[in-house]
Amino acid sequence: MDFGFSEEDDAFRREVREWLAAHVNSAPDRRTWERTLGAAGWIGLGWAEAGYGNRTATLTQQVAWAEEYARSGAPPRSGHIGENLLAPTLIAHGTDEQKKRFLPPVAAGEELWCQGYSEPGAGSDLAGIRTVAVRDGERYRISGQKIWTSLAHEADWCFVLARTEPDSRRHHGLSFLLVPMDQPGRIEVRPIRQMTGTSDFNEVFFDGAHARVAHVVGGEGQGWRVAMSLLGFERGVSTLAQQIGFAEELGRVVRAAEETGAARDPVVRALLVRQWAELRTMRWNALRTLGGSEDPGAPSVAKLLWAGWHQRLGELAVRVRGAAASVGPADWSPTAPYELDADQHLFLFSRADTIYGGSDQVQRTIIAERVLGLPREPKGVV
């Protein structure tokens, strides 16, 4: 993996990004982009063996596609939650009917998904969720609140972890439900404004929302097992593609250091070299664990590595620019949203990297308990 790019490569990628930014910059555009990818057979690579994907692709070919997609500067995927999280979970735990119903629309880019896990009182401590689902004939009625739900404002469906057994505690009595989002009056989505001025995350309120009993994945009361299996799919091919984006960002910071003269500072040079070396290490680690499922600590190690690395890169990005990093790309107006350049957005957004998807503290607890066999952390002790 070469982290240096020629001027010709940079110019080509800038042209691609500018075209995509002009043509794929709204929710309808992104949905059309997903359908375009699906029609061309680029969603669900490797599912063909299960009978539901588009193209047949080896793991190596999937990595090559994901890396080239990221390297081209193509837009972030609206369908990645359905493709990379839900689909592998259904292939592993779903019934034949569930696979036939949900996998083809994901592969075609027709249905978008969001993830209903975290709650205001149960974010990193997922076993503490309080959203309940009460069975009513062949349906469940769901009540509760989810938070930090990415793309909920665009999603057609949400996979929801809810408590289906009354008076159950912790990881017992949970179920993994597939819930349609188009339920006016029963589901409300409220965007969460972030420091960057954008709203990628949402609060989702369920007030008697319906989910079919036939859409429980893995069986009633088996939600924790299914949810933990899903979290294991968050590493692998997508991690390697993520690192291509990281390499692009690092290259931009290196160029800024050269332009501002910050690269002459031996401390800055040492920090840049550290970022480069750690990114190479993350790639080797991702390749080492690619396709593996026997290492319970691998997802947590990967999350710890990239979250801290990306946050430090954001800090370095503004450091090399000095005072200029505090000046926005456009004149400020009290009546218009403020604007950020790429480095400012990187700095502010990466503050959350060590929190969302399981905080650093939780990842270390998982490694301590599940890998090292240390005593479990006491729960409910003040």
What residues are annotated to the active site?
234
Q: Specify the amino acid at residue 263.
A: A
Q: 141 by DSSP, 3-state: which?
A: strand
**Number of H helices and number of E strands within the chain?**
12, 8
Are the C-beta atoms of 48 and 54 separated by less than 8 Å?
yes
Strand partners, 113: 157
Q: Which two tokens stand for residue 347?
A: 């700095």
Residue 344's contacts (CB-CB under 8 Å, 6 or more residues apart) are 318, 325, 328
Are the C-beta atoms of 131 and 184 separated by less than 8 Å?
no
Provide the 8-state DSSP code for 265. Answer: S
Are the C-beta atoms of 323 and 260 separated by less than 8 Å?
no
Strand partners, 163: 132, 174
Q: What are phi and psi of 174, to 5 degrees?
A: -100, 150
- The Cβ of residue 239 has, within 10 Å, a number of other Cβ atoms equal to 23
End-to-end CA separation in angstroms for the chain: 48
Residue tagged 């629309």 (tokens): 105
Please tell me the distance from the alpha carbon of residue 150 to that of residue 358, in angstroms, as a whole number: 14
Q: What are phi and psi of 269, to 5 degrees?
A: -60, -40
Distances (CA, A) of 84 to 81, 296, 307: 6, 19, 19
**2-8 long-range contacts, Cβ below 8 Å, gap at least 24?**
3/247, 3/250, 3/251, 3/276, 3/279, 3/280, 4/251, 5/248, 5/251
Q: Which two tokens stand for residue 230?
A: 């899903």
Q: According to the 3-state scheme, what is the secondary structure of 212-249?
A: EHHHEECCCCCHHHHHHHHHHCCCCHHHHHHHHHHHHH
